Amino acid sequence: MTVLPNRLLIVDDDATQIGQLADNFTRYGLHVTGAASALQMRERLEQEDYALVVLDPDVAPGQGAALLRELAIERRLPVIVHSAACGDADRIAALEMGAEDCLSKPANPRELLARIRAALRGRTGSARAVQAPVARSVASFEGWRVDMTTGQLFNPVGMAVALSDGEFQLLRAFIEHPRQVLDRTRLLDRVYGATSDHYDRSIDVQLCRLRRKLSACGLKGPVIRTIRNEGYMFVHSVTH
């Protein structure tokens, strides 16, 4: 099986926690599978190949260290420990046993996402990385490229343009639906999630920042057009 760079396994006996992280990470192009026990974890690993594992050692009380070693050393998988017990001593022990990182549970989803991305980037070109070729999802418009897996935007000369999470999610929505009118409600759900209490004008603020950033980096002319009483439309053709 080919390891997809956006396939994650979250090993945690808290189904609510898995569901919340899955909902959050899916918006960033990650595919999340959960496992509630060590046995289920091994079953998942037999069925699919994963780019990274987020592990709560408490799924196997008294065996968390052995579980971490199995994943990081025997299976050679990048592992981020996500545990309620993640003090300095616990973090050092986890790193010594092969973990990429250790975060106190419950971690801020954005911070956990950033650590996941950093761990995956760190594995690129590493001797421990799986050597099978991996597919990246890239969209292009007017010479610009958007890496839909990592959330990076590059201008026509290859320079990276820094985007906030909100700006990237807004751009992603337009990239996936070019030349289609998207109303504020749809954009709010995409950028902040369906359960968010953000208001309509939040999208206007994000849109203003995105337009200004794209213009400052050299993308001239109308990019995202305002359609009166309807919403917004990305005017360029997009290729994948």
Q: Could you say which of 123, 156, 181 is where a domain stops?
A: 123
Q: What is the pLDDT of residues 182-231, one digit of tens each?
A: 988 888 877 766 545 555 567 788 888 888 888 888 887 788 999 988 88
pLDDT computed for residue 80 by the predictor: 93
Burial of 36 (0-12, 13-18, 19+ CB in 10 A): middle
Q: Is 62 found in the same domain as 21? A: yes
Cα separations in angstroms, 210 against 60, 83, 181, 217: 45, 36, 17, 11
Q: What is the pLDDT of residues 106-137, one digit of tens each?
A: 888 888 888 888 787 765 544 343 344 444 57
Predicted confidence (pLDDT) at residue 3 exceeds the cutoff of 60: no
Q: Is 195 found in the same domain as 102? A: no
CATH of the domain at 16: 3.40.50.2300
Mean pLDDT of the residues in the chain: 82
Q: Is 144 found in the same domain as 108? A: no
In angstroms, the CA 72 to CA 86 distance is 18
Give the count of domains, the chain: 2
Residue 131 neighbours by CB under 8 Å, 6+ apart: none
Where in the sequence is the domain holding 18, given as residue range(s)?
A: 7-123
Q: Could you say which of 59, 94, 123 is where a domain stops?
A: 123
Tell me, yes or no, whether 240 lies in a domain. no
Q: Is 165 found in the same domain as 97? A: no
Q: Is 162 found in the same domain as 94? A: no
Which pLDDT band, with edges at 50, 70 and 90, does 238 fall under?
very high
pLDDT computed for residue 153 by the predictor: 87
Q: Is 150 found in the same domain as 229? A: yes
Q: Is 204 found in the same domain as 107? A: no
Q: Is 170 found in the same domain as 103? A: no
Q: Where are the beta strands (DSSP E) in the chain?
A: 7-11, 31-35, 52-55, 79-83, 101-104, 138-141, 144-147, 152-154, 160-161, 181-182, 224-227, 231-234
Predicted confidence (pLDDT) at residue 44 exceeds the cutoff of 90: yes
Residue 31 β-bridge partners: 7
Q: Is 53 found in the same domain as 13? A: yes
Tell me, yes or no, whether 164 lies in a domain. yes
Predicted confidence (pLDDT) at residue 20 exceeds the cutoff of 50: yes
In angstroms, the CA 90 to CA 92 distance is 6
pLDDT computed for residue 113 by the predictor: 87
CA atoms within 13 A on the CB side of 240: 10
